[in-house]
Amino acid sequence: MIFPVADGRELDATRSCPVPGAGTGAAHGADPWDPLDLFGASFVRDPHPWLDRLRAEAPVHHDPRTGLWLVSRHQDVKRVLLDTDRFLPDNAQNAVTPLPVAVMRILVRAGFTLPPALANNGTPSHAGLRRVVTRFFDARSVATAVPVIERIAEELLDEVAERATAPDEFDLFAPFAQVLPCRVLLELLGIQGVDPATLIAWSDAALELFWGSPPPARQRELAVLVAEFHQWLAAVVRAGTAPPGSFVRALADHRLPDGTPLDAATAVAACFFVFVAGQSTTGQLIATVLHRALAEPGVWPRAAEEAGMAEAWVEEVLRREPPVTTWRRVTAEATRLGGVDLPAGAQVLLMLMGSGSDPAVFPDPELMCPGRANARRHLAFGAGRHLCPGATLARTEAAVALRAAARRLPAVRAADASAEPPMLGLLSFRAPLRVAVERASTGEGAPSGPARNAR
């Protein structure tokens, strides 16, 4: 798809964006020889300099800090995702930072366990469980759910719009981007009896505990929340009162390849993954989409007015700044990847974010080009048998959120275009934690003009 830019020229997504003076920007602003720290402030703020260097100089690189093998080229990342015999998903949900005994005790007392279910499942049971989940998130189900998404978005924006009359800035992350996918998920899956704010807190705690690098005291705080989350899920699954047609009932009715009913622990593990992925990571995507749309000239008004622009912008954000930045695999045997020999048991970190800016696949990858012809070749949702089953829902929610916000709040702008928001900086997740906006002065709105280079 091709979108016209503000000055009347056409943007051919297979070529460079027609932006005067556009360049790599921050991608070359950092010292490339600083020690690589995947949790460091500079990497979290702008990982592209390191990702660019890894692709160019060490596409399969052993990181001594984490013990992980970083894989950054698109072709290598895709090969790993598709080769499920040599690269196993068993470590996908393991804690990145070792959990001390005190934290383990909290989880054990709560009966916490995550047996192979979805993302970490390489056994024959995976295909059937995936089919159960996909029925709730396939294209037909999502199309039917669009009115629900639009209704909830409008309800949330009603509350946000009241704050827009105030002279000071307000936030689109906590009251809108974060809550929208949580409420949608609860409705679509037929889940009741939990407050969205509680579910968000539980889900965010799980992400930080298992994919972050928190100190021991913080780990204990997070473990308490994760234990509560797991106990609530276990109670919902074991109650046996889920209504027909609900997600939990579908899991209860599921049979494993040998004909036996799905055990409760695996059903809880499936719910755990779906709830985290379906609302926390989607909220992160929406936050990034809104943040980048406000920062790029012309995108905000065009998202409100032009058919397909919101969807095209979401796809470019997924390519360049996906909320799920990395994912893990472990080698089943010694193998060779990208010219490097990996031993059996090697912990592999797929740099999904870096693969989306691989110049061998995406021309001018540092430029945000909505309508880029091959935008969907990105790997933000994975590939193969573990392709994210909620990809269609996430794309749709993000596009609806952007379009609805741009229409309801046409005269807002980034509160401080020069300031970077606080960022979520976990091993596999990155997104702004605040989308601060303010009302523009009379006659002003979101900036106009063509999309410019990305950070």
Domains, the chain, with CATH or none: 92-324+386-439 (1.10.630.10)
Angle of helix 309-320 versus helix 391-408 axis, rounded to 10 = 120
Number of helical H runs and strand E runs in the chain? 16, 14
Label residue 63 left, alpha or beta by phi (over 0 means left) and psi (-120 to 50 means alpha).
Answer: beta
pLDDT at 3: 32
Closest CA to 348 of 360, 333, 359: 333
CA 6 to chain centre: 30
Give the β-pairing of 423-425 and 347-350: unpaired
What pLDDT, on a 0 to 100 scale, did the predictor assign at position 192? 84
Residues with Cβ within 8 Å of residue 197, at least 6 apart in sequence: none
User: How far is 34 from 447, CA to CA, in rounded Å?
Assistant: 35
pLDDT of residue 439: 81
Chain CA centroid to CA 324, Å: 4
- Interatomic CA distance for residues 115 and 387, integer angstroms: 19
Q: Give CA–CA dist 417/315, Å, rounded.
A: 23
* Residue 384 in tokens: 């193969």
Contacts 24+ apart (CB under 8 A), 277-281: 277/119, 277/388, 277/390, 278/181, 278/185, 278/390, 278/393, 279/181, 279/182, 279/184, 279/185, 279/199, 279/200, 279/203, 280/200, 280/203, 280/204, 280/207, 280/429, 281/323, 281/324, 281/394, 281/429
**Which amino acid is located at 96 in the chain?**
V
Q: For the whole model, what pTM was predicted?
A: 0.89
Letter for the amino acid at 185? L
Q: Could you tell me which residues come within 8 angstroms of residue 13 by beta carbon, excluding any fewer than 6 positions away?
A: 1, 2, 369, 370, 371, 372, 373, 374, 375
- Rounded CA separation 32/411 (Å): 39
End-to-end CA distance of the chain: 23
Closest residue by Cα to residue 179 from 281, 275, 283: 283
Q: What is the mean pLDDT of each run of 10 residues along the chain (455 residues)?
A: 31 34 38 72 94 95 93 98 97 94 96 93 95 94 96 95 71 96 93 92 97 96 98 93 91 94 95 92 97 95 96 98 98 97 98 97 96 94 95 98 96 82 95 91 48 42
